[in-house]
Amino acid sequence: MKRVPRVAGFSFSGLHCGLKPCEPDLALLVSDRPAAAAGVFTRSSIPGAPVVVSKQHLRAGRIRGVVANSGIANVGLGVAGLRRAEEMAALAAGAIGCRAAELLVASTGVIGKPLPVAPLRRGIRRAVAALASGGLGDAARAIMTTDTVPKVAGRRFQLRSRQLAVAGIAKGSGMIEPRMATMLAFLVTDAAVAPAFLRRLWREVTADTFNRVTVDGETSTSDTALLLANGASGGHPIAGPRSPGARLLREALHAVAAELARELARDGEGATKLVRVEVQGARSHADTERAARRIANSLLVKTALFGGDPNWGRILQTVGAAEISLDLARTEVRLCGVAVFRAGAATGPAARRRAGAKLGRREIEIEVRLGRGRGRAQLWTCDLSDEYVRINAEYTT
């Protein structure tokens, strides 16, 4: 696993508590002092109990940490699920010595399965004892479900004479088209940031990064992206966009979140390729966004990419199916930089062969220019393989 900078005042742990047969399934992130916090969550009309509880706890202001589990999503269980999420927060809060309202909770895994308390009670005690400043990788492993690799990223930046850091983890492999953030993502920084500005900054960063990811067009019930800033590096709080350090902090947060977002798309269930989709030239931003999402979520496009088939017809077909206005005489489709359709016609078999050869890469690009306006949108997605079908056909069995 890649090395990331340690973030002053934060410690982490991840271990197996018994919710899954043998893999790590419980993660803890703790600040040694109250931290400003911001969160964005799923827009699903059936949010998980941890989403409901964390939204409530964020209103309390300062936060001491996050406790998260994998294996069981704690979704669709009504009042019993809410009680379990509150109890999970209370157990972690009691173990580190703070109020339950200062703990945020997150869960991911199977929907509708009750979350048992006994393994959590034992596991949280052990997780507190295992907390370490270098434990971020352990926490990343503990929130994985169908992910094949843990996802960790970090950056350092200098504000005058002080060194500051941002680090984070994320999980997500399937059921990803967030329209908010992603399945689970937790970022921390030792910068001092005013709570109101932190919330604004986090909304902006997630819109440009985690909200640019789709694997299968499905939005999870558990999507949660959290940012904690504890000010352990010292200095005056960054209070607004013109404050010293605001631009540097935004750049660091954006870099970490964008790296994690790309890794989510790269690790899509059964994926063999990371795909960047860029659309330009629709009449409006909304149409450009809709065209990009149609391409990124099209089963026909994604399976063609899996097979290395430079089928530009699939791309134009799905844009047309969305009833998006375009000018074919000014439309261009590029695959891995090779123009395969331009000015109303295919560019010929030689271009098709060049594009097909490049589609064998692990990272590929689809670029579409529609010739109607100035709109622009970019997404990260992946191809669709037979392994995706197998994973999801057997998810609960």
Tokens of 245: 């350090």
User: Considering only CA atoms, which of 240, 146, 233 is closest in space to residue 188?
Assistant: 233
Task: Tell me the pLDDT band of 132, cut-offs 50, 70 and 90.
Answer: very high
Task: Tell me the pLDDT band of 85, cut-offs 50, 70 and 90.
Answer: very high
Task: Tell me the pLDDT band of 134, cut-offs 50, 70 and 90.
Answer: very high
Taking the mean position of all CA atoms in its chain, how far away is CA 92?
24
pLDDT at 2: 75
Q: pTM, whole model, 2 decimals?
A: 0.93
Answer for the pair 200, 242: CB distance below 8 angstroms, yes or no: no
Higher-pLDDT residue of 173 and 90 is 90
Mean local confidence (pLDDT), 355-374: 96
Answer for the pair 34, 63: CB distance below 8 angstroms, yes or no: yes
CA angle 41, 42, 45 (to 5 degrees): 130
The rounded percent of the chain whose pLDDT value lies above 90 is: 86
- The mean predicted confidence, pLDDT, of the chain is 94
pLDDT tens column, 102-119: 999 999 999 999 999 999
Answer for the pair 273, 361: CB distance below 8 angstroms, yes or no: yes
Q: Is the pLDDT of residue 306 over 90?
A: yes
pLDDT at 71: 95
pLDDT at 354: 98
pLDDT at 268: 85
3-state secondary structure of 150: coil
Answer for the pair 327, 283: CB distance below 8 angstroms, yes or no: no
pLDDT tens column, 191-227: 999 999 999 999 999 999 999 999 888 888 999 999 9
Task: State the CATH class of domain 274-393.
Answer: alpha beta
Contacts with 80 (C-beta within 8 Å, 6 or more apart), sequence order? 114
pLDDT at 215: 87
Phi, psi (deg, nearest 5) at residue 298: -65, 125
Cα 241 from Cα 164, distance rounded (Å): 18
Cα 278 from Cα 289, distance rounded (Å): 9
User: Considering only CA atoms, which of 228, 232, 229 is closest in space to residue 163?
Assistant: 232
User: Considering only CA atoms, which of 205, 213, 204 is closest in space to residue 177?
Assistant: 213
Ordered DSSP codes for 284-342 = SHHHHHHHHHHHHH-HHHHHHHHTT---HHHHHHHHHHTT----GGG-EEEETTEEEEE
Mean local confidence (pLDDT), 228-235: 96
Answer for the pair 279, 368: CB distance below 8 angstroms, yes or no: yes
Q: Is the pLDDT of residue 180 over 80?
A: no
Q: Is the pLDDT of residue 18 over 80?
A: yes
Residues in the chain, total: 397
pLDDT at 181: 66
Answer for the pair 28, 13: CB distance below 8 angstroms, yes or no: yes
Q: Is the pLDDT of residue 24 over 90?
A: yes
Tokens of 248: 């540097």
Task: State the CATH class of domain 10-265.
Answer: alpha beta
363-369 and 274-280 beta bridge pairing:
parallel
Q: Is the pLDDT of residue 101 over 70?
A: yes
Catalytic residue among 108, 182, 209, 318: 182
Residue 393 has a CB neighbour count (10 Å cut-off) of 8
Q: Is-catalytic flag, 182?
A: yes
- 142: alpha, beta or left, given left = phi > 0 and alpha = psi -120 to 50? alpha
Cα 172 from Cα 63, distance rounded (Å): 24
Sign for the CA dihedral angle at 120, 123, 129, 130 comes to: negative
Hey, where are the domains in the chain? 10-265, 274-393
Judged by average pLDDT, the poorest of 152-156, 216-220, 304-308 is 216-220
pLDDT at 395: 74
pLDDT at 217: 83
pLDDT at 135: 98
Task: Tell me the pLDDT band of 182, cut-offs 50, 70 and 90.
Answer: low
pLDDT tens column, 28-78: 999 999 999 999 999 999 999 999 999 999 998 899 999 999 999 999 999
The rounded percent of the chain whose pLDDT value lies above 70 is: 99
3-state secondary structure of 189: strand
Answer for the pair 177, 379: CB distance below 8 angstroms, yes or no: no
